[in-house]
Structure 1
Amino acid sequence: MSRTIDYGNLMHRAMRSLIQNVLTDIQKTGQLPGAHHFFITFDTQHPDVEIADWLSDRYPGEMTIVIQHWFDNLEVTDEGFSITLNFGNAPEPLYIPYDAIKTFVDPSVEFGLRFETQPEDGDDDDGAEAPMDEMVEPEEDAPRKDAEVVSLDKFRK
């Protein structure tokens, strides 16, 4: 039986760790620096997501939250983060595990991560799905444009 390096899962964990590090810095200061703000899309049906029933009814598959001007009670752990956000002047607490995140975008610097899961070709003992990860970073001298997510598969031979 041959053993291989699971680069997909390694990249998956590294990108989730990046999100954790960014949110931990925001938790310490209590605010986002400069023009930074985040759009985070997550799977509302993930078993560990905690949101109000009316939000899961309104967003039965996925939901995008914006962390920008007002947020409260940001607490970051190794598994996910909790935050209180305002929905039509009604503060609602949310808990989002990193595994539920589908996209993380900071449009102020044209940075984005997208997480997609695809079933593995072979059977695994734990039935886990293999991640398909994508990342975008802006070019230094490129003119500013809307954020774009580019597939890493584009560069594979």
Structure 2
Amino acid sequence: MSRSIDYGNLMHRAMRGLIHEVLADVAERGLPGNHHFFITFDTTHSGAALADWLKDRYPSEMTVVLQHWYDNLEVSDEGFGITLNFGDSPERLYIPYDSILTFVDPSVEFGLRFETQDDGSDDDDPEPPRPLRARRDEADETPPQRQNGQDADVVQLDKFRK
């Protein structure tokens, strides 16, 4: 049996490390300038903690926005906890890094998407992460953010690949 380098998992670990570092900086110093984040995560992940009514409303995934109002951002090596406001109702969430599906900072056109293969096999070769393409599902109840009266754009990195 030959050994191989698992680039897909290495990339995922590095990308989640980047998110950890960014959030740790924000927890310490606050959001700089126009930076804000859209973070979509898997609400069924075993480590994710959110109110039952939020799990009922978002049974598979949820997008949260860190921008104007958030409180008690606590960052650990495995994930982060944060209090967000849902219709004048503050709720505490815990989001493990492994549950994150997308991380976007539209102020600088930066985005990450974590792709998974769910074909039922125990393949140790997961699909490597791909750059995030801007898209919005009809079912997404989160309104798009606007910057200076214009929709925020997410850059597609495919054109920079060799």
Report TM bin, short chain.
Answer: 0.7 to 0.9
Where does residue 102 of structure 1 map in the other structure? 101
The number of equivalent residue pairs is 144
Amino acid in structure 1 at the alignment position of 2:131: M
Question: 1:5: how far off?
Answer: 0.7
Question: 1:131: how far off?
Answer: 4.8
Question: 1:95: how far off?
Answer: 0.1
Trace 1:10-29 onto structure 2 (pairs within 5 A): 10-29=10-29
CA contact (8 A) 1:119 1:130 kept: no
Question: Structure 1 residue runs of 4+, over 6 Å off?
Answer: none
Amino acid in structure 2 at the alignment position of 1:15: M
Residues 23 and 118 (structure 1), Cα distance of their counterparts in 2 relative to 1, 3 Å cut: same
How far apart in 2 are the matches of 1:129 and 1:72? 38
Residues 32 and 149 (structure 1), Cα distance of their counterparts in 2 relative to 1, 3 Å cut: same
How far apart in 2 are the matches of 1:112 and 1:90? 29
Question: 1:57: how far off?
Answer: 0.2
Trace 1:32-47 onto structure 2 (pairs within 5 A): 32-47=31-46
Where does residue 5 of structure 2 map in the other structure? 5
Where does residue 146 of structure 1 map in the other structure? 153
Question: 1:121: how far off?
Answer: 9.3
Amino acid in structure 2 at the alignment position of 1:106: D
Q: Which runs of 5+ in 2 are unaligned?
A: 133-151
Deviations 1:9-35 (A, max 9, x none): 110000000000000001111x20000
RMSD, aligned α-carbons: 2.6
State the SS of the aligned residue for 1:117.
Answer: coil
Amino acid in structure 1 at the alignment position of 2:107: S
TM-score (normalizing by structure 2)? 0.80
Deviations 1:97-152 (A, max 9, x none): 0000000000000000000111489746xxx772531236xxxxxxxx72144469
TM-score (normalizing by structure 1)? 0.82
Question: 1:47: how far off?
Answer: 0.8
CA contact (8 A) 2:7 2:128 kept: no
Where does residue 85 of structure 2 map in the other structure? 86
CA contact (8 A) 1:103 1:114 kept: yes
How far apart in 1 are the matches of 2:60 and 2:16? 21
